Amino acid sequence: MVENYELEHVIQKQKRLYDEQCKKILSFKPILAYLFQCCLEECKDMSLEEIQDLLDEEQPHEKMISRNVEDQSVAGSMVRYDLLYKVRNPLNNQFLWINIEPQGMDPGAYDLFHRAFYYGARMVGRQRNDPEGFREDDFDNIQKIITLWICLQHAKYKNDRINKYVLEEKCILGQLKHSKDFYDLIEIQVMYPWQYQ
């Protein structure tokens, strides 16, 4: 029994060290600039230098410092985000909340999308009555959230895949069209980088 506990402790320690190293790498501004340019519509037409300047507006260091990662907005159901950044949206001068979740291994017990969806919904919900969010029923001031999940060890058939999930408008009866920025409030991306197996 003791040996099983020790083995579990070693595995958990290795996982924590791996997670910590991923979080360190994903806090460097040049790495973030490249990731944002490749993955975010808001940054796709910007140079890496322009994106880094955007990051410098928020934090004038070589690394981005994650916001408060503990979300206790739902009683008894704390969520701990790996990395959470608030960055000005270059398209409309509002803000984007960007969550990055490096995953050492595909969990297998559940699909990453469902966890990502839950985290995204929590990130929207936590904005209400938050000093950096919106007050009371001022729902028109919800800030867009983007949650990026990077799964580093996964099944071979997922190699080199990125799936993006967004809200879209479908007019079922009549034509009442809104501009995209009206409903473009949540985006989830699940990434499976290439790995040799």
Residue type, 38: C
Per the CB < 8 A criterion, the answer to whether 112 and 93 are in contact is: no
Separation of alpha carbons 145 and 186, rounded Å: 5
pLDDT tens for each residue of 68-105: 788 888 888 999 999 999 999 999 888 999 999 998 87
Provide the pLDDT for residue 7.
45
Q: If you average pLDDT over each of 8-12, 56-60, 78-82, 101-105, which comes out highest?
A: 78-82
> Within 10 A of 81 (CB to CB), how many other CB atoms are there?
20
More confident site: 11 or 56: 56
Which of 3-17, 93-107, 127-141, 148-162 is the least confident region? 3-17
Contact 154, 106 (CB under 8 A): yes
pLDDT for residue 8 is more than 80 = no
Minimum mean pLDDT range among 25-34, 47-56, 64-73, 112-121: 64-73
Query: What CA–CA distance (Å, rounded) separates 153 from 82?
Result: 17
| pLDDT mean across residues, the chain | 88
Give pTM, 2 decimals: 0.87
Sign of CA dihedral 135, 136, 138, 144: positive
pLDDT above 70 covers what percent of the chain?
A: 91
Q: What is the pLDDT of residue 14?
A: 67
Residue 71 has a pLDDT of 87
More confident residue, 69 or 35: 35
SS3 139: helix
- Number of residues in the chain: 197
